[in-house]
Each structure stands twice: as structure tokens, then as C-alpha cells.
């Protein structure tokens, strides 16, 4: 199994005030530098243990792709060290290493050789690569005739034709169709079960949570946070809403969960309760029972519009259901300082048995990314049990019924000659 160790890693590019400054520095090397260092990554340190899966997240321009290029050796570091053990297969920029004038088959051969395979091994793996890519006769057509999705299919099929010790995947998988993305992640999960170490960049929250053991958050070229995927993704979500430079707080609750709270605090959550139809507070809910989510909002500054929403997540942090007052056509405008608003969301608890949490959002528009008054994870934690319904599997109770129709069996005619015998 493979491992990666990154220590004090940094990458800087030279920036010149003009093109003449670049020429002068080249012609007059003893006159001193005429550029300044622009650091895109600085002081990055982390370790990926054998068999571990790490998700790398961050906004566009945070340095994720640059970091992967440094690790794979396609770009040179400015400072720090990178150590790894085991064979590496990388899927970085779409079409990297492919030649547009060569056929898909020829590109497969060249790319596989770069991965360290000889011609005999490539020929043996070629049927498997063709079958997984599913591009048919296009395998013998020039690559310039391929769509971006076809290029991604071929690149992923080559990179994963043989299980590597370390698999590094950038956001290239986001190009493909839903069917091939599902197929690709199934192969990645299979590799994980067999011991492959994984480093993946993705904006897909579900992919990070379902595959990765840990997550790393890059922000402004530095490693801002690392830890449990759910905790890091919650912080990243708050960071994306923090456009006005407001506060982001994280604290450990008595339950052990890490709660992330962010926003301008123009309006804040004053209270939240899960109630039955008679108004009794609940922390354990029966499958299919009617409940009320009561949210109290304290307004601390006059705001032009208030949208309140909630999101129910399972114990893995995956979204089960979310809605807000804008989508329910209940937006309140011109809210004044000091108002205390109470919202009651009525619904049937049609979730499967398990532990769930509620995240609350107070914002100006449908998305809290527009203006985030407050986003609060783990506002409420509850448990769903099933003691009265039929046993079922999955995360949702659909109250299914069944009707069976069965035609009468055909009549078998017996001839008189048979009876005489």
C-alpha cells in the first residue's frame, strides 16, 4: 500500500512589473532581482497513511490542482518536501498527456507506458480498458473528434486499468455523465477495499463524505483545516457564505459533534424544538408520525427580507431533506429590529430509523450564499425508530402497498381415448 507525506510545501511564481523587467533581470543577473514572489501555496504539511482516503476541498483558485501537480511531479516545488511510497496513478487535467491527432488506442498505449506498463501488459489490458470506457469504435478515431466526456472515460479507464498503490484524482470526473461517474466511483470504492491510498479533489459533498476518511480544506493557498469530512465540509460551507468577512465559529457540543455557526448576526436562531402534534418536545420520533419543527428567530438589525430554511442530515452528514420559506412562498419582508418570529414547519417523519441532525439557515434569498444572517449546523439532534410500521430498508419510508393479480390456471382437457385406456 502507498503513502504520502508532505512537509512545509510551497509554490511561488515570479511576477514582473513589466516585460522589460524580465529582460533586464536576464541580461543583468548581478543587478539584483526585478521580480517579486507570488505564493500560491505556502506551508502545506499533511500525511496520507497507507489505505487512507483524503478529500481535498476549497474554492476555485485555492491551490488544489497546483498541490496535486506538485505531488505528482508535473510541477516543481519552490520549498518543502514530498515523500511517497508505492506506484502512483493520477487523473489530473482533462486530456493531460493525450495527443489530439492520435487515435484513442494510440493514446492509451502512450499513457499506459507513462504509467510504467510495457507493451505486452498494455495489449493484455486493452480489452478491459475498451470495455470500461464504452466508447465503441471511436477508440480508433482521432482524439480531436472526442467530446470531453469521452476523453474523461478513456483517461480514467487507462489510469485505473491496474490497481495502483496511490490514486490521485482531480475534478476531471465532474465532466462525465451521471452513469459513468457512478461507474467510476464504484471502481474507486473497489480499489479502496483492496487497499489503495486515495487523494481526491471534488466539489461533490456526497463523494467526499462517502469515500473519504479525512478532508483537507485549502483557503488562500494555506491549509485552513483538516479532520472529519463532515466537520471540514460544514466549515467550508460557512466559508463560502462568509463574503462580507463575518465570523465563523466551531465548538464541540456535549454530544461530541462539531457545530459550525457563521453569518452576519443580523438575525439569529433564538430557539429550535421538534414537537409532536400536541406540542410535546421530542428527541425520539416514530417513523411516519406527524411532527412540527419550531424555529424562533431574533432580529438584531433591520433587514429587508428574511428566508428561513432547514436541512435534515443523517449521521454521515448527507442531506436527507431541505426546504425554506422562499420555496414555500412564505417570505417576510421589512423585518424590524427586536422582532421575535416563530416558524412552524409541519411534516410527516418519513425517514428510516437512525440518528439525524437539523441545520438551520437564515438568509436574504433562497441560498445562504447571497447574504448569510446565520447558518447553524447541529441545531437539533433526534433519533427515528420503527416500532409500528413494517420492516423496511433505506433512508425513507414510502408507505408502499401492493396489489397482486393472478390469472386462473389453464384447464387441461382429457380426451375420451385416454379415459378408455
The per-residue pLDDT for range 348-398, each reduced to its tens digit, is 999 999 999 999 999 998 887 778 899 999 999 999 999 999 999 989 999
- Please indicate, yes or no, whether residues 168 and 285 belong to a single structural domain of this protein: no
Contact 223, 44 (CB under 8 A): yes
361 domain-assigned:
yes
- Please indicate, yes or no, whether residues 199 and 296 belong to a single structural domain of this protein: no
Percent of the chain, pLDDT > 70?
A: 94
- Please indicate, yes or no, whether residues 175 and 258 belong to a single structural domain of this protein: no
CATH of the domain at 149: 3.40.50.300
- Please indicate, yes or no, whether residues 21 and 64 belong to a single structural domain of this protein: yes
82 domain-assigned:
yes
- Please indicate, yes or no, whether residues 209 and 280 belong to a single structural domain of this protein: no
Q: How confident is the model at residue 179, as a pLDDT?
A: 84
User: Coil, strand, or helix at residue 15?
Assistant: strand
Structural domain boundaries, residue 292: 253-385
- Please indicate, yes or no, whether residues 339 and 206 belong to a single structural domain of this protein: no
Beta strands in 325-399 (DSSP E): 332-335, 340-348, 354-363, 372-385
Give how many domains the chain has, as a whole number: 2
- Please indicate, yes or no, whether residues 168 and 286 belong to a single structural domain of this protein: no
Among 199, 233, 267, identify where a domain stops: 233
- Please indicate, yes or no, whether residues 260 and 163 belong to a single structural domain of this protein: no
- Please indicate, yes or no, whether residues 103 and 207 belong to a single structural domain of this protein: yes
Q: How confident is the model at residue 172, as a pLDDT?
A: 63
What's the average model confidence in pLDDT over 302-312?
A: 95
408 domain-assigned:
no
417 domain-assigned:
no
283 domain-assigned:
yes
- Please indicate, yes or no, whether residues 212 and 273 belong to a single structural domain of this protein: no
- Please indicate, yes or no, whether residues 190 and 227 belong to a single structural domain of this protein: yes
pLDDT in tens, 30-50: 777 777 888 999 999 999 999
- Please indicate, yes or no, whether residues 52 and 185 belong to a single structural domain of this protein: yes
C-alpha cell at 123: 495489449
Neighbouring C-beta atoms of residue 131, cutoff 10 Å: 9
348 domain-assigned:
yes
241 domain-assigned:
no
Cα distances (angstroms) measured from residue 26 to each of 4, 17, 31, 39, 181: 37, 14, 10, 21, 48
Amino acid at each position: 500500500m502507498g503513502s504520502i507525506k508532505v512537509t512545509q510545501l510551497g509554490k511561488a511564481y515570479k511576477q514582473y512589473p513589466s516585460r522589460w523587467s524580465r529582460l533586464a533581470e536576464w541580461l543583468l543577473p548581478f543587478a539584483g532581482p526585478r521580480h517579486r514572489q507570488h505564493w500560491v501555496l505556502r506551508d502545506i504539511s499533511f500525511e496520507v497513511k497507507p489505505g487512507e482516503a483524503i478529500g481535498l476541498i476549497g474554492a476555485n483558485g485555492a491551490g488544489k490542482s497546483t498541490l496535486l501537480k506538485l505531488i505528482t511531479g508535473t510541477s516543481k516545488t519552490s520549498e518543502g518536501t514530498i515523500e511517497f511510497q508505492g506506484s502512483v496513478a493520477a487523473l489530473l487535467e482533462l486530456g493531460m498527456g493525450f495527443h489530439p491527432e492520435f487515435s484513442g488506442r494510440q493514446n492509451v498505449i502512450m499513457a499506459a507506458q507513462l504509467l510504467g506498463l510495457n507493451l505486452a501488459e498494455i495489449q493484455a489490458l486493452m480489452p478491459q480498458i475498451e470495455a470500461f470506457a464504452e466508447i465503441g469504435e471511436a477508440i480508433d478515431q482521432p482524439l480531436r473528434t472526442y467530446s470531453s466526456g469521452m476523453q474523461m472515460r478513456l483517461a480514467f479507464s487507462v489510469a485505473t486499468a491496474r490497481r495502483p498503490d496511490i490514486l490521485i484524482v482531480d475534478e476531471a470526473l465532474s465532466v462525465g455523465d451521471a452513469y459513468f461517474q457512478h461507474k467510476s466511483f464504484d471502481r474507486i470504492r473497489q480499489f479502496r477495499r483492496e487497499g489503495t491510498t486515495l487523494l481526491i479533489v471534488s466539489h461533490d459533498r456526497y463523494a467526499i463524505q462517502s469515500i473519504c476518511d479525512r478532508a483537507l480544506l485549502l483557503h488562500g493557498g494555506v491549509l485552513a483545516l483538516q479532520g472529519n469530512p463532515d466537520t471540514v465540509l460544514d466549515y467550508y460551507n460557512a466559508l463560502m457564505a462568509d463574503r462580507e468577512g463575518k465570523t465563523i465559529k466551531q465548538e464541540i457540543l456535549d454530544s461530541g459533534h462539531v457545530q459550525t455557526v457563521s453569518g452576519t448576526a443580523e438575525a439569529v436562531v433564538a430557539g429550535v424544538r421538534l414537537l409532536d402534534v400536541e406540542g410535546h418536545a421530542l428527541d425520539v420520533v416514530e417513523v411516519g408520525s406527524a411532527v412540527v419543527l419550531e424555529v424562533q428567530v431574533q432580529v438584531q438589525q433591520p433587514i429587508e427580507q428574511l428566508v428561513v430554511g432547514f436541512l435534515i442530515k443523517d449521521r454521515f452528514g448527507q442531506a436527507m431533506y431541505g426546504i425554506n420559506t422562499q420555496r414555500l412562498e412564505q417570505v417576510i419582508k421589512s423585518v424590524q429590529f427586536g422582532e421575535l418570529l416563530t416558524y412552524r414547519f409541519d411534516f410527516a417523519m418519513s425517514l428510516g430509523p437512525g440518528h439525524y441532525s437539523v441545520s438551520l439557515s437564515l438568509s436574504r434569498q433562497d441560498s445562504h450564499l447571497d447574504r448569510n444572517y446565520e447558518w447553524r449546523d447541529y441545531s437539533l439532534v433526534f433519533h427515528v425508530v420503527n416500532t409500528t410500521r413494517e420492516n423496511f430498508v433505506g433512508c425513507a419510508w414510502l408507505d408502499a402497498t401492493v396489489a397482486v393479480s393472478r390469472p386462473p390456471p389453464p384447464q387441461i382437457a382429457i380426451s375420451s381415448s385416454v379415459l378408455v385406456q
